[in-house]
Amino acid sequence: MYDVIVIGAGPGGYVSAIRCAQLGLKTAVVEGRETLGGTCLNVGCIPSKALLHATHMLHEAEHNFATMGLTGKSPGVDWDKMLAYKSDVVGQNTGGIEFLFKKNKIDWIKGWGTIPAAGKVQVGDTVHETRNIIIATGSEPSSLPGVEVDEKIVVTSTGALELAKRPKKMVVIGAGVIGLELGSVYARMGTEVTVIEYLKTVTPGMDGEVQRTFKRMLQKQGFTFIMDAAVQGVTTTKTKAKVTYKSNKSGEVAVVDADVVLVATGRKPFTDGLGLDALGVETEPRGQIKTDAQWRTNIPGIYAIGDAIPGPMLAHKAEDEGMAVAEVIAGKAGHVNYGVIPGVIYTHPEVATVGKTEAELKEEGRKYKVGKFSFMGNARAKAVFAGDGFVKLIADKETDRILGAHIIGPAAGDLIHEVCVAMEFGASAQDLALTCHAHPTYSEAVREAALACGDGAIHA
Ligand code: NAI
């Protein structure tokens, strides 16, 4: 008899299992993949970051080395070797989770689980008994009508991470996080990348100024954008594809050719085969599992977290829920502050965001002030060709309390956490502005944005 069986070993599930074990609960994890870590470690965040790093190095060599007096033959791309490097990075990380499971005495039940009843998880012919079940089965790419994925010519993010060869022309459907990160990988290696997006802006939901700046920067890196257009269908031959799209404004239909088409139009909860219908687990209209504020489903003893429930589909949101639900099960007060969940896009420059956007605050009718600082005024950024971009800090007009931050620029994904901590402590912009920041660092730009919320930035 286990105290907890977690189904799914992605960032939500494995983190939850470790916290359960640390809190003294007898814990097992059911995972059908050959390796632990779920989408994030195997075919998502981690392999894409390896390819983003490698291709960014190539970009630096091709564009900035000569300026810095670094001369000599430019590096070429050995694609197979780059893929091997990526696989090695994945292996180190998935192996690390296996080590952590052993260290924390967590059983890995290999196979795909179903829940025949509360308190039971079946894997193959064996039924395991448990007091609590945590569903952490994550998500899978959404399908698009008229587009059939073969993971060779028409790929999801999974196929895009191991293409047989580098395409000359790639069409990306969807200007969201996946499309722009993986599009960047290929654009940096010389692929002509065309992004077709349904909306008028890239990265839906983000700060408008960030969206416009980001799109302009990507265009400078060679991206072509076809905005405000709906993909109608994709046809393929043995080696090529044709993508048909229709302009939302004019209704005109056009076709673009590609060697590879990346479908990046969002993800949906992956709960197939769990037996949720038979159990009577309630779901939301869009298929996510319905839970209360402490991740309980309507069936006692069954909890759900991560991409399988509503909220941003982010590894770190799942991790936080995983830790918190473990604490709830152990009788403690598990809590997640959904108002302070950062979002990061790992392109170059990085984009990072937390809290409210101006558009959201306008809609709420809340009075706010904005402190903005360009990386052009940051000495460190200029030294590394990263002066493009800015930090925008938003604070309450009356109280000066920080309400959000939107950063596009060097190391934005790290800088954002200073603001996250400040927000968790209910800090004012002035609190950040009065905090000494080491010189020369990118973080000074965050301080300057905070100063700009008050009497003014120094280097503006
Ligand atoms: P997304 O929701 O970020 O973007 C999908 C885009 O596709 C949207 O802009 C949407 O308007 C567009 N779209 C939808 N239907 C379309 C159509 N028929 N024609 C043209 N455009 C269409 O989804 P994405 O990029 O697939 O990512 C899935 C999830 O994975 C997201 O929730 C994302 O947050 C997460 N993710 C996060 C990463 C990170 O944190 N760095 C990295 C990769 C994924």
Residues with CB under 6 A from ligand 1: 144, 173-179, 181, 196-199, 204, 230-231, 264-267, 312-314, 344-346
Domains 2-141+268-336 and 340-452 alike in fold: no
- Could you tell me what percent of the chain has a pLDDT over 90? 100
Q: Choose which residue among 156, 178, 214 to substitute to test ligand 1 binding: the one with the highest number of ligand atoms within 8 A of its C-beta.
A: 178
Predicted model pTM? 0.97
Give me ligand 1 centre to Cα 87, in Å. Answer: 24
| Closest C-alpha residue for ligand 1 atom 35 | 313
Closest ligand 1 atom to Cα of 264: 26
- 302-315: per-residue pLDDT in tens? 999 999 999 999 99
Work out the average pLDDT over 80-99. 98
Q: Which of 353, 344, 355, 343 is nearest to 404 (CA)?
A: 355
Closest ligand 1 atom to Cα of 199: 11
Closest ligand 1 atom to Cα of 203: 9
Going by CATH, does the domain composed of 2-141+268-336 fall within 3.50.50.60?
Answer: yes
- 122-149: per-residue pLDDT in tens? 999 999 999 999 999 999 999 999 999 9
Pick the CATH number of 154-265 from 1.10.230.10, 2.40.70.10, 3.40.50.300, 3.50.50.60: 3.50.50.60
Give me ligand 1 centre to Cα 175, in Å. Answer: 7
pLDDT value at residue 295:
98
Give me ligand 1 centre to Cα 212, in Å. Answer: 17
Give me ligand 1 centre to Cα 176, in Å. Answer: 4
pLDDT of 74 > 90? The answer is no
- Neighbouring CB atoms inside 10 A of 332's CB total 11
Domain chopping of the chain, boundaries:
2-141+268-336, 154-265, 340-452
Measured between alpha carbons, how far is 43 from 39 in angstroms, rounded to an integer?
Answer: 5
Q: Choose which residue among 39, 52, 177 to substitute to test ligand 1 binding: the one with the highest number of ligand atoms within 8 A of its C-beta.
A: 177
Going by CATH, does the domain composed of 340-452 fall within 3.30.390.30?
Answer: yes
Mean pLDDT of the chain: 98
- Beta-bridge partner residues of 445: none
Measured between alpha carbons, how far is 50 from 89 in angstroms, rounded to an integer?
Answer: 7
Measured between alpha carbons, how far is 426 from 13 in angstroms, rounded to an integer?
Answer: 30
pLDDT value at residue 411:
98
pLDDT of 452 > 90? The answer is yes
Q: Choose which residue among 267, 408, 414 to substitute to test ligand 1 binding: the one with the highest number of ligand atoms within 8 A of its C-beta.
A: 267
Q: Which among 63, 335, 417, 439 is annotated as catalytic?
A: 439
Work out the average pLDDT over 227-248. 97
- 150-208: per-residue pLDDT in tens? 999 999 999 999 999 999 999 999 999 999 999 999 999 999 999 999 999 999 999 99
Measured between alpha carbons, how far is 432 from 429 in angstroms, rounded to an integer?
Answer: 5
The yes-or-no answer on residue 439 being catalytic is: yes
